[in-house]
Amino acid sequence: MLNLDSITRVYRRKNGNPVVALDSVSLSVRPGEFVVLQGPSGSGKTTLLLTAGGLLPPASGAVKLEERDIYTLPAGELARVRAKKIGFVFQQFHLIPYLNVLENVLAPSLACPDPGARERAFSLLEELGLDRRAGHFPSELSTGERQRTALARALLNQPPLILADEPTGNLDRDNSRIVTGHLCRFVSSGGAVLMVTHGPDSLSFAHRRVDIMEGKIVSAD
């Protein structure tokens, strides 16, 4: 599904000195697999996730999604691949404040028009207990409702891969269970999840744990 081959990502400080955020990282995630990525703050977790999702091009190495090197694609095609093939769930939700819940969920369909998107959006909102909130704006939602909206958006285009960055970090226990439960069902149906988390509870449902430190993978169960 996803294959990162010797990925290196380098930032430059204001003084010009380089910072190696990812140091020759290799990682694969297979269909039907839930992989948890853990490590201390600044270890490169989020950088790895964004690079895997086609948002941060590596200095070297290849990111292959379903055997296609996504960073060799033209910008427009890469955007369509992200919209159709990858669902993103972030700790800070990244909902569009001037769109209501339904419109936020439908946002990925703008890059890949699909006549069935609206029906799927309503179905997802119902599954996630948000059907009565479809016309509400993000500012009118609880923290848990915002994250469930973000999860519905990630699932809209029925992607084969979900990348999640601390999706339960701001949630109470009940909402955490709802989000992780839906991610587990997604995996059970053949999807793949790569999730960054600090939560120890994640080890109960993950198939593999990968530890990263100072831009290098130091262990993979």
Judged against a pLDDT cut of 90, whether residue 18 lies above it is answered with: no
pLDDT confidence band for 202 (50 / 70 / 90) = low
Look at residue 66 and tell me if it is in a domain: no
What pTM, to 2 d.p., does this model score? 0.88
CA 20 to chain centre: 22
For the chain, how many structural domains are there in total? 1
pLDDT confidence band for 218 (50 / 70 / 90) = confident
Look at residue 65 and tell me if it is in a domain: no
Look at residue 103 and tell me if it is in a domain: yes
Look at residue 25 and tell me if it is in a domain: no
Look at residue 19 and tell me if it is in a domain: no
Q: What is the CATH number of the domain that holds 146?
A: 3.40.50.300
Look at residue 215 and tell me if it is in a domain: yes
Judged against a pLDDT cut of 90, whether residue 125 lies above it is answered with: yes
- Which are the contacts of 201, defined by CB distance < 8 A and separation ≥ 6? 176, 180
Q: Cα separation of 116 and 4, whole Å?
A: 32
pLDDT digits (tens, 9 = 90+) for 88-116: 998 788 899 999 999 999 988 876 777 88
Look at residue 72 and tell me if it is in a domain: no
In which domain, by residue range, is 187 found?
30-54+81-220
pLDDT digits (tens, 9 = 90+) for 33-74: 999 999 888 888 999 999 999 999 999 999 999 989 999 999
